[in-house]
């Protein structure tokens, strides 16, 4: 157990205590520990920084868009898959749909460029059909829908797993009884299936709300150059550009620490709400 | 197995419903598969055909392996492939070893400080250290531009650890006690009893680590100089950002159409995932993962 524990102490807690740099002015020569303390100056600069707030707004907007447009997709797909009675077809579609989850963001972004870029598949078809082409890649206005589409492509299939597990728990006898009593497919869905899976749906929704400050960092960083920071800067990329690129380590750490604290509080609160609703939550 | 089971009480769906479902399923399958088909086809097409068709090909009329030959002649991509394979293999083995021993120690009663350690570890899941402190730590440890910087900072994944610990806890207590009575040491119990019983869980977690290492891009871009790049970072630079590839891919000499080579690099990065995918799949049907996600 020693190597594993050493990892946590060094790389997790070592770095966690290294967050002290948020309260310091980083001097490369003095290192993290030798740099002078400056109190909350970095945080004051952060709260007065317009770009930081733009990044916060972008993060929240993308999160909300994902909540509205991504969240229902795995549920719908799971219902569709669950309704299939032909198990060969179901298993085949499941296999295909889970696959993109295992593809790296670098490849997903490259694939989307190939499909939707100005010389890509979609625009060639539009061009051949005599329609005007659509500028999707590298267009700041189209960026947020594009990001949501990428998340749907990559993770909607994988997201069905938990809903499919919940659907197998639906009481078969209850379905049969209501069918005998004359309830059609829609009424059975509405009065039996939906109430049975509602706890899982609510739990996932709450957990997602707890992570509202986190949107795909690699996904955004890979595409930020193409559309510019106005459209693509999120809190995590802000931290990256201020710190790693700009060298303003203390300031960037302050922004990261702010996000980390807010995120932990939100997850904690979401968990509390889940408990209040009688769910088990993530942490006991 | 082709089985079609509809409970006797369920009515046969209307033709219209069935048609709608069929269309939806076909759309889902196409949306996932067409991009892969396009990159494979384009990588196999000749430069002329790709240019004539405006940058991509759905089905090559005169397939050629020229792009792959160019790539494997040596140079950046061959080297990057070696780096990716090396980091993935060594990283997965190290991660598995550390995760297994730590998970085992955390699930045995009586290990000194077991519970506080567990809380300490779970806390990092709720409140992970930020990017900049991690970066500075790697820098101060002198790991910049070393392959260790791709492995050590992500050595143990808390989620995998918790899953494995849960799995170990599911092993009947009697087995541990019997081994104890026979005088077996902790390590011996782990090696001869626990691990053979946990093959499925180890396979899943090992594959997850492997996929993570293979796909890892950000740390490479953060820590490594260009002559140490793994495949994902090469892809990012030459395919996404479209940096000039002509002179650098093969070191020197003539180069095929950049587009076909770009697609060939993409294919090479995807193929290992496709190869391990059936194995991954075999195990998530066993419910290891569903159980894990629920917990």
- Kindly report, residue by residue over B198-226, the tens digit of the pLDDT: 888 888 899 889 999 999 999 999 999 88
On whether the CB atoms of residues B79 and A149 are closer than 8 A, the answer is no
Query: Are the beta carbons of B32 and A153 separated by less than 8 Å?
Result: yes
Among A12, A111, A185, beta carbon nearest to B35 = A111
A35 vs B107: CA distance, rounded Å: 41
pLDDT at residue B265 tops 70: yes
pLDDT mean across residues, chain B: 82
- Backbone torsion region of residue B279, taken as left when φ is above 0, otherwise alpha when ψ lies between -120 and 50, otherwise beta: alpha
Q: Summarize pLDDT for A168-192 with one digit per residue, the tens.
A: 888 888 888 988 888 888 888 899 9
Query: Are the beta carbons of B289 and A161 separated by less than 8 Å?
Result: yes
Higher-confidence position of A81 and A117: A81
B229 within domain boundaries: yes
Q: Provide, as residue numbers in chain A, all residues whose Cβ is less than 8 Å from the Cβ of B274.
A: 99
Q: Provide, as residue numbers in chain B, all residues whose Cβ is less than 8 Å from the Cβ of A240.
A: 131
Of B84, B206, B88, B112, the closest CA to residue B157 belongs to B206
- Percent of chain B at pLDDT > 90 equals 28
Does residue A121 belong to the interface with chain B, where contact is any CB pair within 8 Å?
Answer: yes
pLDDT mean across residues, chain A: 87
Architecture, CATH, for domain A38-168+214-248: Orthogonal Bundle (1.10)
CA dihedral for B158, A210, A203, A277, sign (positive or negative): positive
Query: Are the beta carbons of B217 and A105 separated by less than 8 Å?
Result: yes
Does residue A93 belong to the interface with chain B, where contact is any CB pair within 8 Å?
Answer: yes
Q: Summarize pLDDT for B171-202 with one digit per residue, the tens.
A: 888 888 888 788 778 788 888 888 888 888 88
Q: Provide, as residue numbers in chain A, all residues whose Cβ is less than 8 Å from the Cβ of B277.
A: 99, 102
3-state secondary structure chain B: CCCECCCCCCCCCCHHHHHHHHHHHHHHHHHHHHHHHHHHHHHHCCHHHHHHCCCCCCCCCCCCCHHHHHHHCCCHHHHHHHHHHHHHHHHHHHHHHHHHHHHHHHHCCCCCCHHHHHHHHHHHHHCCCCHHHHHHHHHHCCCCCCCHHHHHHHCCCHHHHHHHHHHHHCCCHHHHHHHHHCCCCHHHHHHHHHHHHCHHHHHHHHHHHHHHHHHCCHHHHHHCCHHHCCHHHHHHHHHHCCCCCCCCCCCCCCCCCHHHHHHHHHHHHHHHHHHHHHHHHHHHHCCHHHHHHHC
Among A8, A84, A107, beta carbon nearest to B124 = A8
B24 within domain boundaries: no
Q: Summarize pLDDT for B11-68 with one digit per residue, the tens.
A: 777 888 889 999 999 999 999 999 999 999 988 988 888 877 777 788 888 888 888 8
Q: Which residues contact B22 (CB under 8 A, 6 or more apart)?
A: none
Global confidence as pTM: 0.88
Q: Which pLDDT value is given to residue B182?
A: 82
Among A15, A85, A98, beta carbon nearest to B5 = A85
**pLDDT band, very low/low/confident/very high, at B246 (cuts 50, 70, 90):** very low
Q: Summarize pLDDT for A32-61 with one digit per residue, the tens.
A: 777 888 888 889 889 989 999 999 999 999
Of A137, A97, A92, the closest CA to residue A116 belongs to A137
Query: Are the beta carbons of A239 and B129 separated by less than 8 Å?
Result: no
Element (H, E) at A245: none
**pLDDT band, very low/low/confident/very high, at A126 (cuts 50, 70, 90):** confident
**pLDDT band, very low/low/confident/very high, at B249 (cuts 50, 70, 90):** very low
CA distance B84 to chain A (A): 13
Does residue A109 belong to the interface with chain B, where contact is any CB pair within 8 Å?
Answer: yes
Please count the residue pairs, one from chain A and one from chain B, whose beta carbons lie less than 8 angstroms apart.
242
Q: Which pLDDT value is given to residue A105?
A: 94
B185 within domain boundaries: yes
Q: Summarize pLDDT for A217-251 with one digit per residue, the tens.
A: 999 999 998 888 889 999 999 999 999 998 889 89
Q: Provide, as residue numbers in chain B, all residues whose Cβ is less than 8 Å from the Cβ of A121.
A: 34, 38, 56, 58
B276 within domain boundaries: yes
B156: CATH: 1.10.3720.10
Residue A37 three-state SS:
strand
Among A19, A89, A107, beta carbon nearest to B133 = A19
B247 within domain boundaries: yes
* Domain that residue B266 falls in: 70-294
CA distance B286 to chain A (A): 12
B133 within domain boundaries: yes
Max avg pLDDT among B63-67, B92-96, B108-112, B249-253: B92-96
Does residue A162 belong to the interface with chain B, where contact is any CB pair within 8 Å?
Answer: yes
Q: Count structural domains, chain B.
A: 1
Residue A86 three-state SS:
strand
CA distance B253 to chain A (A): 26
Q: Provide, as residue numbers in chain B, all residues whose Cβ is less than 8 Å from the Cβ of A105.
A: 215, 217
State how far the alpha carbon of A119 is from the alpha carbons of A137, B39, B269, in Å: 10, 14, 22
Cβ atoms within 10 A of the Cβ of B84, count?
25
Q: Provide, as residue numbers in chain A, all residues whose Cβ is less than 8 Å from the Cβ of B289.
A: 161
Domains in chain A: boundaries = 38-168+214-248
Does residue A115 belong to the interface with chain B, where contact is any CB pair within 8 Å?
Answer: yes
CA distance B182 to chain A (A): 23
Among B28, B54, B132, beta carbon nearest to A243 = B132
**pLDDT band, very low/low/confident/very high, at A202 (cuts 50, 70, 90):** confident
Of A213, A214, A235, the closest CA to residue A224 belongs to A235
On whether the CB atoms of residues B276 and B207 are closer than 8 A, the answer is yes
pLDDT at residue B295 tops 50: no
B262 vs B234: CA distance, rounded Å: 10
Among B121, B240, B274, beta carbon nearest to A8 = B121
**pLDDT band, very low/low/confident/very high, at B89 (cuts 50, 70, 90):** very high
Q: Provide, as residue numbers in chain B, all residues whose Cβ is less than 8 Å from the Cβ of A180.
A: 9
Average pLDDT (A123-146) is 84
On whether the CB atoms of residues B60 and B44 are closer than 8 A, the answer is yes
Across the strands, what pairs with A46?
Answer: none
Q: Where are the beta strands (DSSP E) in chain A?
A: none
Higher-confidence position of B6 and A96: A96
Among A7, A18, A259, beta carbon nearest to B137 = A18
- Percent of chain A at pLDDT > 70 equals 97
Query: Are the beta carbons of A1 and B104 separated by less than 8 Å?
Result: yes
pLDDT at residue B120 tops 70: yes
Average pLDDT (A7-18) is 81
Q: Which pLDDT value is given to residue B285?
A: 57
Enter the ipTM: 0.86
């Amino acid at each position: 157990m020693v190597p594993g524990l050493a990892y946590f102490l060094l790389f997790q807690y070592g770095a966690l205590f290294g967050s002290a740099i948020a309260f310091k002015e980083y001097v490369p020569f003095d290192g993290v520990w030798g740099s002078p303390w400056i109190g909350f100056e970095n945080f004051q600069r952060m709260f007065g920084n317009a770009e930081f707030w733009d990044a916060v707004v972008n993060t929240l907007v993308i999160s909300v868009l994902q909540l509205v447009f991504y969240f229902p997709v795995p549920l719908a797909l799971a219902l569709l898959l669950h309704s299939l009675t032909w198990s060969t077809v179901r298993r085949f579609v499941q296999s295909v749909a889970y696959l993109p989850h295992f593809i790296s963001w670098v490849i997903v972004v490259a694939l989307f460029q190939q499909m939707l870029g100005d010389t890509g598949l979609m625009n060639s078809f539009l061009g051949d059909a005599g329609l005007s082409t659509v500028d999707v890649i590298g267009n700041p206005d189209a960026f947020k829908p594009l990001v949501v589409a990428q998340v749907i492509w990559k993770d909607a299939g994988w997201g069905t797993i938990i809903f499919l597990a919940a659907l197998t728990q639906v009481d078969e006898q209850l379905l049969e009884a209501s069918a005998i009593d004359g309830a059609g497919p829609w009424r059975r869905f509405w009065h039996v299936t939906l109430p049975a899976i509602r706890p899982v749906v609510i739990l996932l929704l709450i957990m997602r709300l707890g992570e509202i400050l986190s949107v795909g960092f690699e996904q955004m960083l890979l595409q930020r150059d193409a559309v510019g920071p106005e459209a693509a800067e999120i809190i995590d990329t802000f931290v990256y550009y201020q710190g790693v690129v700009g060298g303003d380590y203390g300031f960037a750490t302050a922004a990261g620490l702010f996000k980390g604290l807010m995120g932990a509080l939100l997850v904690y609160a979401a968990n509390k709400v889940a408990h209040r609703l009688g769910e088990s939550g993530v942490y006991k | 197995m082709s089985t079609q089971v509809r409970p006797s009480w369920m009515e046969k769906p209307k033709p219209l419903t069935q048609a709608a479902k069929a269309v939806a399923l076909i759309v889902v399958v196409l949306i996932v598969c067409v991009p892969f088909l396009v990159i494979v086809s384009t990588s196999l097409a000749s430069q002329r055909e790709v240019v004539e068709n405006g940058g991509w090909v759905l089905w090559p009329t005169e397939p050629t392996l020229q792009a792959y030959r160019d790539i494997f002649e040596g140079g950046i991509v061959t080297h990057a492939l070696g780096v990716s394979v090396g980091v993935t293999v060594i990283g997965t083995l190290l991660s598995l070893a550390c995760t297994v021993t730590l998970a085992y120690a955390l699930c045995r009663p009586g290990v000194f400080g077991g519970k506080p350690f567990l809380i300490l570890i779970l806390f990092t899941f709720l409140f992970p250290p930020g990017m900049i402190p991690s970066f500075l730590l790697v820098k101060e440890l002198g790991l910049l531009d070393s392959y260790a910087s791709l492995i050590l900072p992500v050595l143990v994944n808390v989620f995998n650890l918790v899953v494995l610990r849960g799995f170990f806890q599911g092993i009947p207590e009697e087995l541990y006690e019997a081994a104890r009575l026979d005088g077996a040491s902790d390590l011996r119990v782990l090696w001869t009893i626990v691990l053979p019983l946990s093959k499925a869980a180890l396979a899943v977690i090992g594959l997850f680590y492997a996929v993570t290492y293979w796909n890892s891009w950000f740390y490479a871009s953060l820590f490594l100089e260009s002559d140490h790049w793994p495949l994902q970072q090469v892809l990012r630079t030459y395919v996404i950002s479209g940096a000039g590839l002509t002179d650098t891919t093969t070191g020197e000499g003539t180069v095929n159409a950049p587009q076909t080579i770009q697609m060939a690099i993409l294919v090479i990065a995807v193929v290992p995932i496709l190869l391990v995918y059936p194995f991954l799949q075999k195990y998530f049907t066993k419910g290891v993962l569903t159980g894990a996600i629920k917990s």
